[in-house]
Amino acid sequence: MTKDDIIKKNLDLHAEWMKYVFENPDVLDKIPKEAILVILPEDDKELYEENYRVLEENKKRGVPSFVIKMKTPKPQITDMEIVAA
């Protein structure tokens, strides 16, 4: 997996997390100050391992982390027009 793939997939996960936070803002009270958010996708083994490696590196450096496990969001088409068939 390329670095660009990792970034894109993590941005997709982060967007889904933000939707959850907007619907459940009290969850923010559970996140320690200065903690780094790490999302471990349950259905993407390669990205899970990459993000877990980052989590372990942060632990070794003493950086607090807040870990979320979630499924990868499915793409949603919200506005589409078929112009030819």
Residue with tokens 């009290």: 26
Range(s) of the domain holding residue 41? 3-70
**pLDDT tens for each residue of the chain, 85 residues long:** 899 999 999 999 999 999 999 999 999 999 988 899 999 999 999 999 999 999 999 999 999 999 999 998 776 656 656 676 5
* Residue 21 belongs to a domain: yes
Amino acid letter, 78: T
Task: Let me know: does 73 contact 56? Beta carbons within 8 Å.
Answer: no
**77 inside domain:** no
What is the predicted pLDDT for the residue at 75? Answer: 66
pTM comes to 0.80
Q: Is residue 14 part of a domain?
A: yes
DSSP state of 43: T
Task: Please count the structural domains in the chain.
Answer: 1
The pLDDT score that the predictor gives to residue 57 is 96
Structural domain includes residue 42? yes
26 within some domain: yes
Residue 10 in any domain: the answer is yes
